[in-house]
Amino acid sequence: MSYSKRKLDVIEPEVDKIELTKEKRSKIDSTTNDFLRLNDTDFIETDYQAAFQTIANRLINSYELVLNEQHFFRLCEIEFYFYHQIRHPDTFAHRHPLQQHHSNWYFHRQGTSLTAGYKAGSYKGLDLTFSSLNDLSYGGILIRSIENKQTGQIYEGSCLVVDAILNLCNSKTINELVETKLNKNLDIFNKNSLIYLRSISTITNQKLISSPRVGLTLKNPSIDRERFLFRSYRFTPKDYYPSKMKFMILLALTAEKYFQNKKEKFIDYAKDLSIETNIRLSTVMTNLNELQNGYDTNTSNKTSPLVDYYKKKFTTSDLAKAYGIWLRTYRSN
């Protein structure tokens, strides 16, 4: 996607070479949590897209998830949730107090109190926390898919990611893992932990695709929620297309090509994108026609552009049309 040209104030350690010696790797590890702090005091809302892209690129291409010192995973699908009251009021973020601090693991809770229990069943999820450098914010990077680098097995879905972590760390529950085995030390770069991130010796260079996040709705509607609903805060490497809402990645790629090249219709890119995404051409054409229908919809007489989707569960067709309306109304890059 295209991004703001404003200089990014994401604090990053310097890396001189792709091949990192042990000495350099150790040096980077000692300062690595800096890149999960945003020096965003002067940001406007649209600056965060490129800042998230920078962090996502670093996490996916430069780090691996280590479990129990035996299992090594690539992060291959992550989503960003960040709330700042003025600069980035994304109320899809959980806003738990533990998400005010950077570089920690945050297992999703049932509420926002410090004593709230952990979510269970299909609602389980794990974030890496990040935050603003100078003032109060809440940030979580949800891990949606991981790939075992030794076996190639992929765990797709935030619940299945947590299940895999519990299993490979020999823990029956999140509470057992956090309270007993981690002793509440949730530092994501702690090399003495059962679960941590470490820099990899050979940095990969996978291009990332950004697309809308999975499963968001307007069941609790507001204009702010409309604005953030389809922000491209989901990041995947170009060599991995998750099955969940894959068609939204297709639509995001279509929008990118359309606004770069300005052909007449979204459907003009159908053949190329069918090949690129390995989605059947007839399905691509259906999705792109619905996207076009939404984009061409006149919403000037509506109380808000997406009001027809308030308190509604999205179908695939709804999502494509709503995304088209959103692109016409809220797209900023």
What pLDDT digit, counting tens, does each position of 175-210 carry? 999 999 999 999 999 999 999 999 998 888 999 999
The terminus-to-terminus CA distance of the chain in angstroms comes to 8
Cα separation, 184 vs 85, whole angstroms: 29
pLDDT digits (tens, 9 = 90+) for 212-247: 999 999 999 999 999 999 999 999 999 999 999 999
Which residue, 13, 12, 10, 30, is CA-closest to 22? Answer: 30
Which residue, 240, 243, 265, 245, is CA-closest to 255? Answer: 265
Paired tokens of 217 = 């709705």
> At residue 139, what is the residue type?
G
Cα maximum dimension of the chain: 63
Q: What share of residues in the chain are helix, strand, coil (percent, to 5)? A: 40, 20, 45
CA of 183: how far to CAs of 12, 81, 126, 188, 258, in Å? 29, 26, 17, 13, 51
Q: Going from the N-terminus, what domains does the chain have, and what CATH number goes with each?
A: 22-199 (3.10.300), 214-330 (no CATH)
Q: Is the pLDDT of residue 30 over 90?
A: no
pLDDT digits (tens, 9 = 90+) for 49-83: 999 999 999 999 999 999 999 999 999 999 999 99
E strand or H helix at 144: strand 138-148
